[in-house]
A and B are shown apart, each in its own frame.
Chain A
Amino acid sequence: MRYERPQTITDATALLAGAAGNAHVLAGGTDLLVRMQNDDFDAGLVVDIKAIGGMCEIVESDNAFTIGAAVPCAALSEHAALVAAWPGIVEAANLIGSTQIQSRCTVAGNLCNASPAADSVPAMVAAGAQARIVGPDGTRMVAVEDIPQGPGKTSLEKGELIEAIVLTKPGPRSGDAYLRFIPRTEMDIAVVGVGVWLALDESGLVQEARVALGAVGPKVVLAQDAAAAIVGTPLDDAALDALAAACSAACNPIDDKRGTVTFRKQVAGVLARRAARIAHERAGVRQ
């Protein structure tokens, strides 16, 4: 294994693009270093991105938050304006691992690790988060849902890395929420995770919504039918029933020791209802 700590993103992409064999980006290392313990795993080139300017910072502008790719999840909950704007994303990010893991793990890493059960990913997808990707050919913005392609696989090309996750500031009467099911009270892998974002019109009806499901398929699911089921409604019981049914239908899960197909489908509906209620409540108090 070779370790490099470039000072600029241009150097980082050049290193990644020029790697002959395996190449990995090191941000918090909470997945990569665990894999490195396995003797069969050859990390190849490891590019530590933490010396690159801005990577460890959350920048707030008039209309967005830019979360550097190496910002630890613990820092999200310490950023009062971010917590106020996107409580669902912060709560999801803070569900990952122990205090020690929180000190290092990142949302960009959670996304690039491409586990179907990643907690922060459905929350980011529901929020319409974008990833700023830098590569040898320049910079591109990509919707978070277009990055995971299946377990451990992303749409990033050779030489590319995520520089930051960009969240636009939420509009009035909008709110987000993320809930997951685990069999314990903490520190476990989601059996199902659901992120909901919604915005209300002036009369209090749901005007827009995004619903994302985790751990119910090989990658995060943006459940468009589920969102459509609540748009135009006051989020009454009938709308919540339709939301739950659409979420269950959008699942394509596997049976494993953590949950059966039937269970996961059912729970996706239940969690979607609850998360939608929380998002709705948050939207109701945001002017």
Chain B
Amino acid sequence: MSSIAVSTTINGDDVEYLCQADETLLDVLRNRLGLMGAKEGCGTGDCGACSTIMDGRVVCSCLVLGAEAEGRSIETIEGMANGNELHPLQSKFIEHAALQCGICTPGFLMAAKALLDVKPDPTEKDIRFWLAGNLCRCTGYDKIVRAVQDAAQEMKGARA
């Protein structure tokens, strides 16, 4: 099978790679580009552990073909912190102990970032519905919701 050449943007950088037709974006990120932040929990769009942002919308990268990234703009967890400075969502996840094993965490962070990008002041209900496609087997979700609320507050304060 001949490879497909893809030019895309990942976390602001121009990236080129070769992939197979049936390879998912998740596999490309992890196996070809060394971006191991996105996790494969299910591979079928059910768990959200592979969440990445594509052209501003949060997607399951396990349900995107690597070839489909051509010309798009992809954001992954690796691009979230600004150098050594954590994103407010990352800091608040640590502060609220919103993670235990951490498998789900990159997905939650990307999904929560996509939420705050479009809705900077979400209600608890907004957060719970928005994150319903991200599964966590450890935390019981409550701490995750609090961390997102707190990060939203802090980001609002920083803008004021």
Query: Which A residues have a C-beta under 8 Å from some C-beta of B?
Result: 1-3, 5, 26, 29-30, 33-34, 36-37, 43, 46, 48, 50, 72, 74, 97-101, 103-104, 186-187
- Which residues of A are found within 8 Å of B60, using beta-carbon distances? 100-101, 104
- Which residues of A are found within 8 Å of B70, using beta-carbon distances? 5
A98→B63 contact, CB < 8 A:
no
B22→A34 contact, CB < 8 A:
no
A34→B132 contact, CB < 8 A:
no
Point out the residue from A26, A34, A74, A101 that lies within 8 Å of B65, measured CB to CB.
Answer: A26
B65→A98 contact, CB < 8 A:
no
- Which residues of B are found within 8 Å of A50, using beta-carbon distances? 68
Residues 101-143 of chain B: 1 if any A CB is under 8 Å from the residue's CB, otherwise 0?
0000000000100110000000000000111111000000000
18 A-B contacts (beta carbon < 8 Å): A5-B70, A26-B68, A29-B63, A33-B45, A33-B63, A33-B65, A74-B57, A98-B48, A99-B129, A100-B45, A100-B58, A100-B59, A100-B111, A100-B133, A101-B63, A103-B57, A103-B58, A186-B129
Cα of A220 to Cα of B82 in the assembled complex, Å: 50
Residue on A with the closest CB to B71?
A: A51
A34→B63 contact, CB < 8 A:
yes
User: B4 in the interface, Cβ–Cβ < 8 Å?
Assistant: yes
- Which residues of B are found within 8 Å of A2, using beta-carbon distances? 21
Please provide the chain B residues from 28 to 60 with a CB less than 8 Å away from any CB of chain A in the complex.
43-45, 48, 51, 54, 57-60
Would you give the shortest CB distance from B49 to chain A, in whole angstroms?
11
Most buried by B among A33, A48, A50: A33
Residue on A with the closest CB to B111?
A: A99
B62→A33 contact, CB < 8 A:
yes
B57→A97 contact, CB < 8 A:
no
The answer to whether A30 and B63 touch (CB under 8 A), given A3-B4, A46-B21, is yes
The answer to whether A5 and B67 touch (CB under 8 A), given A99-B111, A100-B58, A101-B133, is yes
Cα of A219 to Cα of B48 in the assembled complex, Å: 30
A37→B43 contact, CB < 8 A:
yes
The answer to whether A97 and B111 touch (CB under 8 A), given A3-B65, A33-B65, A187-B132, is no
- Which residues of A are found within 8 Å of B58, using beta-carbon distances? 99-100, 103
